[in-house]
A and B are shown apart, each in its own frame.
Chain A
Amino acid sequence: MNIRRLLIEAIQSLNSNKLRTSLTMLGIVIGVAAVVSMLAIGKGAQSSISNTIQSMGTNLIFVAKDSTVTTAAPVTLMDSNAIEKLKETSSSISAVAPSVQTSTTLVFSGTSTYVQLIGTTPSYPSVRNVTLSSGSFFTQADYDNSASVIVIGSSVVTNLFSKTPQVVGQKVKMGNNVFTIIGVLAARGGSEAGTSDNQVLVPLTTAQVRLVTRSSFKDQINLISISATSPDMVSTAIAEVKALMKSRHNISATGKNDFTVLSQEAITATATSVADILTLFLGGIAAISLLVGGIGIMNIMLVSVIERTREIGLRKALGARDSDILSQFMFESLFIGLVGGLLGVLLGWGISQVIRALASSGSTTLNPVVSLDVVLLATIFSIAVGLVFGIYPARRASRLEPVEALRTE
């Protein structure tokens, strides 16, 4: 009953100066909306990053040269073969695919496009979780014969073959070499450069002979992709591969490795922790605007206390205690905080939806996630802002001497 009474009084009093109340509230609305939408975008970015990485394949382990070690011996095809051999004695590794990478230009009937060339083995699709939308991947025979066959990514199709209905069987040129397209990779989402949709794949042997120019020696490769038999076996596989690589590279048990062995999981964790930091950063900046909104509440409540000094004096003369006056003014600022917070959550949700629409129209997948904990956090935070910034003006009001307050004009 008393709370209801306080609420009605707060609404009446705030209602009597609508413009001022709504402007004060706007500060909180903007602050909360900023916090909610920033956190939502951050969460969305995080999940789209980890989705992209996950789409590269499960249970993946990568072995590459540690480029921070200056004297590092290159990772070679022989290393890859040795790991392949490990399969016979170990139950942790299911497939191995060495690869070389370079950038090159692909030409088809006068049009050209810039692609990422990967030379690899027929086991690549199973290791890297790659599927084909048409045609087939190259075979062991193609590999053994260094055949001039090529499998292209989906965005290469869009770039070069927008007017060609049948892509498989067409011939493309890379430098002076002509390749026959034998398969097209299924689109994997993600967007710009660096993702697999802009790749073309040829047999490693073909790449070594015709395309990749290496100053050192031809068995040098960029990456060994390994798939573990199950997620539980990833760490076992890493340990085994590390031990093998150490012995092959003549590194003592305690010596510094000149190669890196990374799991898909570790890469995902790194990327999402970057997104986490970004989210915190954005949220932190947004929280500052909420703080400014809180100062707005304090400012207006102080003005209101001064304006209503006489009313406070009267209420005290009629028997109001300090605590009655305190709660009256606290309720007003709490109300601004609460309503502003709720409106802010709505606005923040709206902003997230707009950003989702903008992102998808720009062919970027970003799904801002307005989660319940963010909504609760923002609402509680805005109520707290109302409380904290309301206390000082309310205390000032409650401590007014009735005689003095009644005398004010």
Chain B
Amino acid sequence: MSQIVVDARDLKKVYRMGLVDVFALRGVSVNINKGEIVAIMGPSGSGKSTLMNLLGCLDRPTSGKYILNGKDVSQISGNDLAFIRNKEVGFVFQSYNLLPRATALSNVMLPLRYSRGEKIENAEERAAELLDQVGLKDRSNHKPFEMSGGEQQRVAIARALVNRPSILLADEPTGNLDSKSGTEIMDLLVEINKKRGVTLIIVTHAPEVAKKTHRLIELVDGMVKK
């Protein structure tokens, strides 16, 4: 019996743009099991970024329920949401979003800085180990501008994993990379999923990325395409 990590029911998101309401999501229900690799696809404007933001606890739904790893996070406070992001969610962005002034190691350790209430033992060893896992053992003291795009994205993946999240959210992780690096990054993500059992949710419109996932969720006009 597989365990459900993401349990989203009838999520709606309405933005107010001036005088009109824009419906970004019109009732999306998604179930994702622990250890699954899921691709979220859809044309631009279909609501996939909005869904991603909701699943990543960066934003709250207008209505609907979102249970992440057994906890209802639909309407909790901003500070609690920040706590959930820190503990349960790992983000991988299209443009890496590394701190330019910090070394690879410091970048990986950044989420630990916001782990409040919990004393992190061996933070540096943990980060170094993750850099080793993503194949950057000897790059830990390099700064982002000294690394290639693929390498930067590996640092970002290590950073996403450092707090042992239950889901890893990747927003177009290969979007800024050439096809060779892109393939390598996808292979790395799949390998990490296998090794660590972390649930992987990838927002993409690249079919070759979607091909490597277990399941596809397609969005059209703020609804899941049946």
Q: Which residues of A contact B (CB under 8 A)?
A: 5, 12-13, 16, 310-311, 314-324, 401-403, 406
Contacts and interface: CB of A to CB of B under 8 A. Distances in A.
A321 B81 CA distance: 9
B181 to A, nearest CB: 21
B44 to A, nearest CB: 14
Nearest to A316: B82
Given A318-B91, A318-B114, A320-B114, A406 B97 contact: yes
A319 B91 contact: no
Nearest to A407: B49
A319 B85 contact: yes
Given A314-B97, A320-B82, A322-B79, 19 more contacts: A5-B113, A12-B102, A315-B110, A316-B82, A317-B58, A318-B85, A318-B111, A318-B114, A319-B83, A319-B111, A320-B114, A321-B114, A321-B116, A322-B78, A323-B79, A401-B59, A402-B59, A406-B58, A406-B93
Contacts of B82: 316, 319-321
Nearest to A320: B114
Interface of B: 53, 56, 58-59, 78-79, 82-83, 85-87, 91, 93, 97, 99, 101-102, 110-111, 113-116, 159, 163
A320 B101 CA distance: 18
Contact of B86 (A318, A401, A403): A318
A321 B97 CA distance: 18
20 contacts: A12-B102, A314-B99, A316-B82, A317-B56, A317-B91, A318-B86, A318-B91, A318-B110, A319-B86, A319-B87, A319-B114, A320-B82, A320-B113, A320-B114, A321-B114, A322-B79, A402-B59, A406-B58, A406-B93, A406-B97
Nearest to A323: B79
A162 B139 CA distance: 82
Residue among B56, B82, B91, B115 with most chain A CB within 10 A: B82
Contacts of B53: 403
Contacts of A402: 58-59
Contacts of A321: 78-79, 82-83, 114, 116
A5 B112 CA distance: 12
Given A320-B82, A321-B79, A315 B58 contact: no
Contacts of B116: 321
A401 B85 CA distance: 14
A326 to B, nearest CB: 12
Nearest to A405: B58
Contacts of B111: 318-319
Contacts of B58: 316-317, 402-403, 406
A12 B101 contact: yes
Contacts of B87: 319
A406 B172 CA distance: 14
Contacts of A315: 110, 114
B75 to A, nearest CB: 17
A12 B103 CA distance: 12
B164 to A, nearest CB: 13
B197 to A, nearest CB: 22
Contacts of A324: 114
Contact of B59 (A5, A310, A323, A403): A403
A16 B53 CA distance: 31
Nearest to B119: A1
Contacts of A319: 82-83, 85-87, 111, 114-115, 163
Given A402-B58, A403-B58, A317 B99 contact: no
Residue among A311, A319, A402, A406 with most chain B CB within 10 A: A319
B176 to A, nearest CB: 13
A402 B102 CA distance: 21
Nearest to A409: B95
Nearest to B110: A318
A146 to B, nearest CB: 91
A12 B114 CA distance: 18
A317 B56 CA distance: 8
Nearest to A313: B97
A44 to B, nearest CB: 46
A183 to B, nearest CB: 78
Nearest to B56: A317
Contacts of B115: 319
B17 to A, nearest CB: 14
Contacts of B93: 314, 406
Contact of B101 (A5, A16, A314): A16
Contacts of B110: 315, 318
A315 B56 CA distance: 14
